[in-house]
Structure 1
Amino acid sequence: MKPVLSVITIVYNNSRDIERTLLSVLNQTYGAIEYIVVDGASNDGTLEIIKRYENRIAKLISEKDKGIYDAMNKGLALATGDYVIFMNSGDEFYANDTVAKVFATAPDADIYYGETEMVNDERESLGRRRHKAPAKFTWRSFKYGMSVSHQAIYIKRSLVEPYDPKYQLSADIDWIIRAAKKAKKIVKVDGYVAKYLVGGMSKAKHKQSLLERFDIMKRHYGLVPTLFNHAVIAFNLGWYWLRNRRTND
């Protein structure tokens, strides 16, 4: 029996990108997919685009929500598959055979994960995320930053809990760490498994995101290790910026 994958897409007023995400899921060669779309009561034509494909979507809801993680929790509550993955509006599976490739890598893992390619608004490749996915992934792997993105991680549904609503921007880090703490078998899939649409986050939100990340890491890893790890993150960021500035000059 093939494991059933619940793919959840969250969207609000994104008529520009939603169809690309829908087709990325619906065109998968893997047959055992339960597709769930959670729309936040869009009024820009997004819902009309989704409804074109409604007969191929297992569950569709369109209603106001309290933010992205509230919407993601609604999707989780609807999921009945063996595994869950979030492919939010603008994001895509890397190729049409990605899901088949993931489950062919090894049987019955608690978590599968792979690499994410960044793309810009023109869908041009910006290469791999700055954080390389680790060769071995554990719940401790996020201590220097989020090395696996949520578009690239397939988690057994029995291991996942709802997103913590107290975090507005970084709850996915906490969510993945909590699931990884329970996981026994974690398998890396070779190569890219997802495309992530790079979006601008305002400076005010970026600061809030960093504060949330610090709080999450302090909770899971302890205060002193988190302070030390943030010093390492700051050094690595500075080095990355310097090196790239040199190559761009």
Structure 2
Amino acid sequence: MNLKISIITVCWNSAATIEKTIQSVASQTYGNIEYIIVDGKSKDTTLDIVKKYPDTVTNWVSEQDKGLYDAMNKGIKMATGDYICIVNADDTFADDTVIQRIAEFLQTNPVDASIGDIVQHKEDGKIIREYGAKKWSPEKLKIGFMPPHPAIFFKKQLFDRLGYYAIDFKIAADYELIIRYFLKNSISWKYSGITTHKMLVGGVSSSGWKSYKKVSEEIKKALRMNDVVFSPFRIDTRVVWKMLDFI
């Protein structure tokens, strides 16, 4: 069976970066890819760039949405693949063979989700962080640890069965969905060991103390929503536990 992989990019006024993202998808060696772009009614030249790649972009839509996670849900509902992954509009795949290797891994290991690694880099391309999931387990969600969200390839059927991203979260809807899937519903998963994405630093959840506090509050909200017993103190001080785990 030749797995179909659906890739979703959500964008808004992303003309400065989206072409690299599209080219990263176009260069993948794997053949059975569906690429969906969900645009939030950009006012720059984002759509002009999207329209340059009809052989790569399978389907796209440009309309108002209720935020990032609402747009992700739209893309997932449009998808027809066996597995789904997200590549943000300022990120790229780590190399041209990522989807080929992931598809081979998932055919050998037909789990509900595979988890990989990512690297984060500056605009000049310098890698500043490797964000790995080798030591991760669902129990670590209780102390503020989640695997890199873009490096997760989800079986499409999961969304129909267990629900989509909760759009009342500003930053941590991905955390809530991962709690719901991996901890509450114990989906099957396996670590692939594959570095899937290169991410440009400076996203919505990665800048400053104010953002850290907001993420902490949303993580606690996500855990409560899913009836998970946890220590609020450990969530608030998760950066310490992450450093100790790394050491």
Which of 180, 188, 195 is the equivalent residue of 1:185?
188
Identity %: 31
TM-score (ref. length: structure 1): 0.85
Q: Does 1:153 align with 2:158?
A: no
- The code of the aligned residue for 1:229 comes to R
Shift of residue 145 of structure 1?
2.5
Structure 2 CA distance, aligned partners of 1:111 and 1:237? 23
Aligned to 2:27: 27
- Give the partner amino acid of 1:196: M
2:218 and 2:201 mapped to 1: Cα distance?
Answer: 20
Q: How many residues align?
A: 237
Q: Which amino acid aligns with 1:93?
A: F
1:227 maps to 2:226: no
In structure 2, the CA distance between the partners of 1:93 and 1:77, relative to structure 1 (3 Å rule), is: same
Q: How does 1:1-249 map to 2 (within 5 A)?
A: 1-105=1-105, 106-129=108-131, 132-135=132-135, 137-138=137-138, 140-160=139-159, 161-180=163-182, 181-182=184-185, 184-199=187-202, 201=207, 203-220=209-226, 222-223=228-229, 225-227=230-232, 229-230=234-235, 233-236=238-241
The alpha carbon displacement at 1:46 in A equals: 1.1
1:47-86 C-alpha deviation (Å, 9 max, x unpaired): 1111101332111001111110111111111011111111
Contact 2:112-2:155 at 8 Å conserved across structures: yes
Deviations 1:151-206 (A, max 9, x none): 10001011122111111111011112222244553121124221121115465444
Amino acid aligned to 2:235? H
Shift of residue 218, structure 1, vs aligned partner: 2.9
Where 1:159 maps in the other structure, the secondary structure is helix
Structure 1: any 5+ residue segments left out of the alignment?
Answer: 244-249
Does the 8 Å CA contact 1:54/1:60 hold for their aligned counterparts? no
- 1:4-37 per-residue CA deviation (whole Å, 9 max, x = no partner) reads 1110000001111101111111211111111100
Q: CA deviation at 1:232?
A: 5.5
- For the aligned residue pairs, the C-alpha RMSD in angstroms reads 2.3
Query: Secondary structure, in 3 states, of the residue corresponding to 1:229?
Result: helix
Q: Is the 8 A contact 2:136 2:147 kept in 1?
A: no
| Matched letter for residue 130 of structure 2 | R
SS across alignment from 1:55: coil
Q: 1:32 to 1:75 in 2, by over 3 A?
A: same
**Contact 1:111/1:183, CA 8 A, preserved across alignment:** no
Identify if the C-alpha distance between structure 1 residues 196 and 55 changes in structure 2 by more than 3 Å, giving closer, same or farther: same
